[in-house]
Structure 1
Amino acid sequence: MRRATVLPSGASLVERRDLPASDVRPVGRCLYVPDSAVVHAGPVGELALEIAGGPVEGGGSRLTSDELHRTPFAAVHEVGDAPWA
């Protein structure tokens, strides 16, 4: 089991092996840039589940969602009515 822990908060996210891959999607209302601890430990799929989102097509580890979720595991940017959204 691999775990990402974000300091100084100590918040942890555990990678689940049984989690199906999220569907790639176009950029939605919010763009999430996962903390490097999440990227290196691997629970990016768990973060996608937490934010009700999925990976951005061609975006590496970046995630997107149409909902704004504050999380210690990623920086979130509201995209709004950007031309690519």
Structure 2
Amino acid sequence: MVDVNQLNNIFKETLANNKKPERILIGYKLYAELMKDRRFFEEVVGSAMNPSKRTYQNIKIKVTQDDRQLELKSSG
């Protein structure tokens, strides 16, 4: 099971490698699990009125059909 701390660690690793995170790809089941975390839930739900435009730490979220996917697309 992935939690918010693991997601935050992925961000830190990406930034440490001088890459800029652009999009988070999250599988639908994993997204549902992460939404149970209050910090993640509050930031994601508060980020936009439209569910397709939600973000976490100012990075766009795309929910995918791959149930357990967790990938961070980055540039740089």
Fold agreement, TM-score > 0.5? no
Higher helix proportion (structure 1 or 2): 2
Higher relative contact order (CA 8 A, sep 6+): 2
- TM-score for both structures, normalised by structure 1: 0.28
- TM-score for both structures, normalised by structure 2: 0.29
